[in-house]
Amino acid sequence: MSNYSTSHSSNSDDHPQSFWTKYVWSQDHKVIAIQYSLTAIFMGLIALVLSWLMRLQLGFPGQFEFIDVNTYYQAMTLHGMIMVVYLLTALFLGGFGNYLIPLMVGARDMVFPFLNMLSYWFYLLASLILIASFFVTGGPTGAGWTLYPPQAIMPGTPGTDWGIVLMLVSLAVFIVAATMGGLNYVTTVLQARTEGMTLLRMPLTVWGIFTASIMALLAFPALLVSAIMMLFDKLLGSSFFMPAVISMGQQTDYGGGSPILFQHLFWFFGHPEVYIVALPAFGIVSDLISIHARKNIFGYKMMVWAILGIAALSFIVWAHHMYVSGMNPYFGFFFATTTLVIAVPTAIKVYNWLFTLWRGDIHLNLPMLFALAFMSSFVIGGLTGLFLGNVVVDIPLSDTYFVIAHFHMVMGVSPILVIFGGIYHWYPKVTGKMLNEPLGHLHFWITFLGTYAIYFPMHYLGILGMPRRYYAYDDYSFIPESAQSLNAFITIAALIVGAAQLVFIFNLFWSYLKGKQATGNPWQATSLEWQTPDTPPKHGNWGSAVPVVYRWAYDFSVPGCDEDYIPQNSPPNNQPPNNQPSDMQPPNANEAADPSSANDLRSDSDEA
C-alpha cells in the first residue's frame, strides 16, 4: 500500500475553482459518480419505454399501428443491451464504485482522477452514439441484444445499414471507458487504502466492486475484439464470422467465417458480465443486511472467498448458453458441471445472509426491505437457473419464455432491487437529505410485488413452449388461448411497475430540494464513508487528515459497549474486545496510543 491517501492534502491546488471544473469537467470521484449514475438512470428510462413497446404488442397484438415488426425487434435489441451494459454495469461500477471505493478505503480520491474523468466522458459518448442510432436511416439494429451473425449484418434484419455499425462502435467506446474506470478502481483499492485498512478489513461492497472490476478488465476484451471483427465483416467485407451464404437469392462474397466463433467470444464476455453486475450487488446487500440488522456479517472470510470463487468459475461456464449450437456432448457435460459448481459459492453467500439476519435487531427500513426483496428474487431466479444449466432440461426450454423469466429474475429484477436499496441507503451521504419514506414504501411494494406478477407467469408460458423473440403468436396450435390472456395481464403489470419508477425519480429530486436534513451517520454504520467530517463530503473527503483504521467494518452489537456499533476509525482504548475473527483484531490499546504503531499498521496492510 502506498502513501497516496496520506500524501494529498485537502488544501492542495487541484481543488475545482469554477462551475465547469467542479460540476462538468470534474475530477472529483463523487461528482463523477453522480454523473455516471444520472446518465445510467436516463439510459435505463429509455430501456423502460422500449420494454413498454414490446409488452404492448405482446399483450394487445395489432392494436398499436406504430409498433410494427421492425420497431418490435429494434426495441427488444436496445432494451436488452442498454439494461445489461449501459445501465447495470455503468451504475454499479461507475456510480457506486466511483463514489464508495475512495470513501470506504479512506482515500482522498481515485489514484488517477483525470483518467476517471475521461472514463465518464467516454461512457457518455458511447451512450450518445447508441442513442444516435434511433435517428439514422433504417433505425437501430434489430438483431437481438446478442447481435448474432450472420443475420445481424445482412439485409432483412432491421438496422443493417447504420444501426448495427453504431451499436458496435458504441460498444467499443464503452469498453474503453470501462477499462479506464476498472484500472482506476483496482489500483485505488490496492494502492490508496488508508493506515490500518488491510484487505480483510474492507467492507464487502468494496470487495464486490474490486473483484468485478478485475473481471471486467479480463472479459470486456472478448466483446471488444468481436465488435471490431464484426465491423470489419460489415464494412470491409472480411469473413471472421460470415460463412458462405446466399442473401436475397444472390451469392455473397463472404466465405469461411464462423458464426459459432462469435457466440464463443460473446458469451466468454457475457457470462462473466452476469457476475460483473452480481458481485457488486452481493457486496452491497451484505453491507445493507449487516447494518440494518445491527449484527456483524456472518462468515466474513468465507464471503470474501465466495466472491473470488464465483469470479474464477464465471470464466468457465459460458458455453451453457450454447447447448443448442451443436456442441460436443462431452463439452456439454463439462459446462453443465461447472454451472452447477458455481452455485455452491453463491449458495454460501445466501446462507451467510440468512445467518446474519438470524436473531438480529432487524430494522425494516427501505434499504433493508430492498435487500430482503433481492434475496427472494435472486434465490428464485437462481433455482430456475439450475434447470437451465442441465443440458437435457435446457434444450426443450431454450428460447422460450422460461429463459426470459429466469434471466430477468437474476439479471434484471435482482440487481435493480439492490440499486434501489443502495440509493436509499447512501442518498443521505450523497445529498445530506433523507428520501421521503411514504413515497419510498409505495415505490418498493409496487416494484416488488409487480415484478413477481410479471415474471412468475412467464415460467408457465415457457413450459407451454411459448417461444421468445416472436412479434406475434397467431395460429400456433400448441399455444392455448389462455396464454394470450396471461400476456395481457403481464403487460398491465409491466406498465404499472414502470410507472412506479417515476415515483422513485420524483422522490430523488423532490427530496434533494425539500427533503428532511440527514445527520452525518443516520444508519449508525461503522464503515469509513459515514465517518467523514462533512456530509456531503467535501473535495478531498477527510479534511486535514485521513482516518486510521483499527478494526473491521462489522462491529455491531458488541457486548459491553454503550453503543450498538463501533466505527472502523474508533481507537481500541477503553473499548471491550470486538467480535471479529482473531486474525482481524485491531492493535492493542498501547500500540494504538504509540505513534510508532503507524509502521505496524502499514506493514499489516502490506501483508494483506
Cα–Cα distance, 406 to 383 (Å, whole number): 9
pLDDT at 591: 38
418 closest CA partner among 287, 577, 515 = 287
Is residue 350 in a domain?
A: yes
**Could you report the per-residue pLDDT of 108-155, keeping only the tens digit for each?**
999 999 999 999 999 999 999 999 999 999 999 999 999 999 999 999
**Could you report the per-residue pLDDT of 574-585, keeping only the tens digit for each?**
554 444 444 444
Cα–Cα distance, 168 to 173 (Å, whole number): 9
Cα–Cα distance, 454 to 466 (Å, whole number): 15
Is residue 444 in a domain?
A: yes
Q: In 90-155, which ranges are continuous DSSP H helix?
A: 98-105, 113-132
In the chain, the number of structural domains is 1
pLDDT at 17: 67
Cα–Cα distance, 222 to 209 (Å, whole number): 20
Is residue 495 in a domain?
A: yes
Torsion of CA 324, 327, 330, 331, to 10 degrees: -90
Number of other residues whose CB lies within 10 A of the CB of residue 470: 14
Is residue 565 in a domain?
A: no
pLDDT at 15: 66
pLDDT at 575: 54
Question: How many Cα atoms within 13 Å fall on the side-chain side of residue 11?
Answer: 2
- Is the four-CA dihedral 523, 527, 531, 537 of positive or negative sign? negative
Provide the residue range defining the domain that includes 490: 28-242+255-517
**Prediction pTM value:** 0.91
pLDDT at 392: 87
Cα–Cα distance, 17 to 285 (Å, whole number): 37
pLDDT at 388: 87
Is residue 127 in a domain?
A: yes
Q: Tell me, what CATH number does 217's domain have?
A: 1.20.210.10
Cα–Cα distance, 191 to 466 (Å, whole number): 52
Label residue 61 left, alpha or beta by phi (over 0 means left) and psi (-120 to 50 means alpha): beta
Cα–Cα distance, 137 to 270 (Å, whole number): 29
For residue 545, give every residue at least 6 positions away whose Cβ sits within 8 Å of its Cβ, in sequence order, or none: none
Question: How many Cα atoms within 13 Å fall on the side-chain side of residue 350?
Answer: 17
254 closest CA partner among 268, 265, 240 = 240
Is residue 125 in a domain?
A: yes
Cell of 197: 485498512
pLDDT at 232: 97
Collect the ranges in the chain with pLDDT lower than 50: 2-3, 5-13, 576-608
Is residue 339 in a domain?
A: yes
Is residue 529 in a domain?
A: no
pLDDT at 394: 87
